[in-house]
Structure 1
Amino acid sequence: MDRSRLHDAVLAGVVAAASVSLFVLYGPERLQAEGLPVHGMQPPDAFGVALVVLSCAPIVVRRRWPLSALWAGLAPEALLSGLGYGTGTASLSGMVLLYSVASHRGLAISLVALAVALTAYLTGAAAGPVGPVGWNEYVIVVVVLVAVWGAGRSLRLRRAYMEELKDRAARLERAHAADTRAARAEERSRIARELHDVVAHHVSVMTVQAAAARRVLETDPELAREALSAVEHTGRLAMTEMRNIVGVLRTDGQAELGPQPAVKDLPALVEQMREAGLPVRLQVEGTEVPLPAGVDLAAYRLVQEGLTNSLRHAGPGAKAVVTVRYLPGELDVSVEDDGVGVKEDQTEPPGHGLVGIRERVTLYGGILNIGPLPGGGFEVRARFPLKDGQ
């Protein structure tokens, strides 16, 4: 037996004990002593007590079958009145069962139950052996039954409200979990782009420098040593940037990340590419303004990827120009080289770097142009819109 059924069984026993006590104490002699007419009212006996107990027994199943329990409780009560034992002896069980219907069933069924309970009491009171009662007693009984019914309805509404709150909380929790998953997926995508840009750039530079060191190793050991030192320096830079990017993953978001590269770091990038063997010129036009962090990083990565592709694909002797233009409401960034460019059937050099750059530019509402120049060479150019004066 579950806990609720046990509680109902105890409640049925308490109500039955109270009802039997009222049935035995308020017999014809007691009522006559108080000056009330009895008109042939039957004295309490074992059969009457049994009917009182039967009227209280349905309380045990009041939660599972509340309406059926009310009908089962009203039947012995009507029999008590019909046999002349008087009315009201089992009214306690009737109120409990009416409350149960109101608190566990819908409005229509609970209204029917209230109407039946009122009709059963008023009919028994009017035709019972005690004789007609005053209208004030009718009013009191009606008020009590309606109050019991209202208490049950209030409990049902409160229970429905609490269920709605729980359901809403569950929906919010699911939505929050979905948002968290989406944020994590977006963060993984961002980290993947950052790692690709960092690794592709630095590994390309290291490859070129290592190849140069191999070519001059026997003829010019000093130049080879400088190239190998540059390879070491570039490798350390790559490791530092990768630690800054993925360090947060090792500490669940608590790592102290270093600042991400930005447009102000382009001179160092240009110098690095010069050391790798690609002559690069940097020119800045217009009045510099503070840039949003995302646009600042995207512009840097665009230049980094553009120079990396120039280093890999432009060919020997090629030169590159990096131009940063601060225009009203717009940032224009381009990387041009005068190398061999790409084949006629290609729209951009192989690899995924420029694809990632296209995603970055699109993310911030920019326009990206990638392709060969009319006079030869290759261009990577992006225009980022700046809002609110940025």
Structure 2
Amino acid sequence: MDTTATTTPPPAGSTSPPPSRRPGPPLPGTTVAAWAGAVLYLLAVGLLVGGASQASGTVHGVGAMLSVCLLVGLLRRRPLLTLATALLGSTLVVAGMPTSDASPLSASYQGQFLSFLAVDAVLGFIVATCTRRASIVAVAVSCVIQLLVVGGFAHGNDMTVNAVIAVLAMAASCTVGLLSRERREHAVALRSQEVAEAVTAERLRIARELHDMVAHSIGIIAIQAGVGSRVIETQPAEAREALRAIEATSRETLSGLRRTLVALRQADSGAAGTAQASRAPSPGLADLERLAAATADAGVQVDLHLSGERRPLPADIDLSAYRIVQEALTNVVRHAGTGHCRVSIDYGDGELSVEIVDDGRGATASGSAHGFGLVGMRERVGLLHGRLSAGTRPEGGFRVAALVPLPAPVAVPAAAR
């Protein structure tokens, strides 16, 4: 019984972000360390207020700003609680400054509001990671508390300057948080788009392979079956030939379908799938004679012309050229109404030329020019940065021509060949 889990790909064109992995359980001791950091932060604030009462406000502010590093562990788990703790600690630092024998503008009061910069850093993290409602609440509460503290412990011009600096610092932290949030959302949207495009491209590739592989074989099978049913009473030998052609074509089609399924399951089957796929290679231009023979069995004689220096081609170009010829011959068999066509392959120095010409009835309203075959041809040639032309010839019949650029040939040592 197969118990392998499968994942259904998202529908093409979907813009929903890919499912994110849920974070695993916290490591042992990390939660305890986070709460211990919060306790140490409050102890550090208490030491600044009580143990360094004669130090200047700048020393208190810098000390409180550095002490907020102890809240990093708690910030990742409880950002709002971390903001409340940082606000409490900064307010205690400002309120704990000695007021006896010191005027509001004395040295002991200079820089005491630096501690709120750590609060602004926590606020920026909340804006970047939390929901919009939580961010709005956090910004409003932080702004009110900071302005109240500045208004209560600063006077005159000093109060105005500190209030403006506090507002600007909060605005800067919120701006950085918003930019970080937008950048992350944009990255998620790009990943979602890439996944959707990859799924769409894979579906189109599978559709092209199945169409090009099955349509040709089914067309030949239908024609051979019709021939066999008409001559089975009068010409048993011809009927047996038709049945043998149907059997051979069916086996070839099943082999191609099996090869496609192996390629689709290759990620799950691992080395076994790779080995099976290697035993059933994809078709290429070397199989054109066999394709021409199968088409001849369906009643259309194929004149195959090869020119240029025949050499191994990249796998994608080789397969695409074969599929183009296969689909064009399928259209000749099904729609042209003729018993003859010509296939020309030219191995040029810089490009591969593929041409299929027949002298049949050409394109009709329901003919080959209106099916999925030409669409698949254009997609294949477009992926290879080539050009495709298809249409009715002035002298009659239909012509399909494709030009595919070839990579520069690489010299191969004779021993390697």
TM-score (norm: length of structure 2) = 0.58
For the residues of structure 1 that align with 2:52 and 2:396, how far apart are their CA atoms? 110
1:214 pairs with 2:237: no
The verdict on how the C-alpha distance between 1:81 and 1:326 changes in structure 2, with shifts beyond 3 A counting, is same
The verdict on how the C-alpha distance between 1:349 and 1:61 changes in structure 2, with shifts beyond 3 A counting, is closer
For the residues of structure 2 that align with 1:19 and 1:103, how far apart are their CA atoms? 17
> Once the two structures are superposed, what CA deviation does each residue of 1:147-185 show, in whole Å capped at 9, x if it has no partner?
xxxxxx9xxx9xx99999999788656644543332222
The verdict on how the C-alpha distance between 1:71 and 1:259 changes in structure 2, with shifts beyond 3 A counting, is same
Cα drift, residue 262 of structure 1: 1.2
Equivalent residue in structure 1 for 2:209, among 181, 194, 202: 194
Cα drift, residue 240 of structure 1: 1.2
Equivalent residue in structure 2 for 1:249, among 264, 289, 304: 264
Cα drift, residue 211 of structure 1: 0.6
1:237 pairs with 2:257: no
For the residues of structure 2 that align with 1:60 and 1:338, how far apart are their CA atoms? 81
The verdict on how the C-alpha distance between 1:161 and 1:205 changes in structure 2, with shifts beyond 3 A counting, is same
Cα drift, residue 372 of structure 1: 2.4
The aligned residue for residue 383 of structure 2 is 363
Aligned pairs (5 A) from 1:278-357: 278-315=300-337, 318-343=339-364, 348-357=368-377
SS of the aligned residue for 2:400 comes to strand
Alignment root-mean-square deviation, CA? 4.5
Cα drift, residue 284 of structure 1: 0.3
Task: Output the amino acid matched with 1:264.
Answer: A
> Once the two structures are superposed, what CA deviation does each residue of 1:332-376 show, in whole Å capped at 9, x if it has no partner?
111122223344x68854421122112222222222222223333
The verdict on how the C-alpha distance between 1:67 and 1:14 changes in structure 2, with shifts beyond 3 A counting, is closer
SS of the aligned residue for 1:214 comes to helix
The verdict on how the C-alpha distance between 1:361 and 1:21 changes in structure 2, with shifts beyond 3 A counting, is closer
For the residues of structure 2 that align with 1:60 and 1:314, how far apart are their CA atoms? 77
SS of the aligned residue for 1:105 comes to helix
> Once the two structures are superposed, what CA deviation does each residue of 1:49-69 show, in whole Å capped at 9, x if it has no partner?
xxxxxxxxxx99551356544
SS of the aligned residue for 2:391 comes to strand
The verdict on how the C-alpha distance between 1:273 and 1:65 changes in structure 2, with shifts beyond 3 A counting, is same
The verdict on how the C-alpha distance between 1:103 and 1:330 changes in structure 2, with shifts beyond 3 A counting, is same
Cα drift, residue 19 of structure 1: 7.1
Where do 5+ consecutive residues of structure 2 fail to align?
1-30, 54-81, 103-107, 122-142, 144-153, 156-168, 411-417
- Does the 8 A contact of 2:227 with 2:242 survive in 1? yes
For the residues of structure 2 that align with 1:189 and 1:18, how far apart are their CA atoms? 67
- Does the 8 A contact of 1:8 with 1:61 survive in 2? no
The aligned residue for residue 297 of structure 2 is 275
SS of the aligned residue for 1:370 comes to strand
- Does the 8 A contact of 2:221 with 2:249 survive in 1? yes
Task: Output the amino acid matched with 2:388.
Answer: L
SS of the aligned residue for 1:218 comes to coil
Task: Output the amino acid matched with 2:197.
Answer: A
The verdict on how the C-alpha distance between 1:62 and 1:288 changes in structure 2, with shifts beyond 3 A counting, is same
Task: Output the amino acid matched with 1:104.
Answer: V
The verdict on how the C-alpha distance between 1:330 and 1:5 changes in structure 2, with shifts beyond 3 A counting, is closer
Aligned pairs (5 A) from 1:108-147: none
Equivalent residue in structure 2 for 1:386, among 381, 391, 406: 406
- Does the 8 A contact of 1:8 with 1:60 survive in 2? no
SS of the aligned residue for 1:64 comes to helix
Task: Output the amino acid matched with 1:179.
Answer: E
**Greater gyration radius:** 1
The aligned residue for residue 182 of structure 1 is 197
- Does the 8 A contact of 2:360 with 2:397 survive in 1? yes
For the residues of structure 2 that align with 1:11 and 1:354, how far apart are their CA atoms? 71
SS of the aligned residue for 1:272 comes to helix
Task: Output the amino acid matched with 2:334.
Answer: R
SS of the aligned residue for 2:227 comes to helix
The verdict on how the C-alpha distance between 1:175 and 1:22 changes in structure 2, with shifts beyond 3 A counting, is closer
- Does the 8 A contact of 1:315 with 1:339 survive in 2? yes
Task: Output the amino acid matched with 1:289.
Answer: R
Cα drift, residue 248 of structure 1: 3.0
For the residues of structure 2 that align with 1:13 and 1:66, how far apart are their CA atoms? 10
> Once the two structures are superposed, what CA deviation does each residue of 1:243-299 show, in whole Å capped at 9, x if it has no partner?
212323335464323422111111111111112221112110111233232222221
How many corresponding residue pairs? 299
TM-score (norm: length of structure 1) = 0.62
Where do 5+ consecutive residues of structure 1 fail to align?
24-58, 83-90, 110-118, 121-152
The verdict on how the C-alpha distance between 1:72 and 1:264 changes in structure 2, with shifts beyond 3 A counting, is same
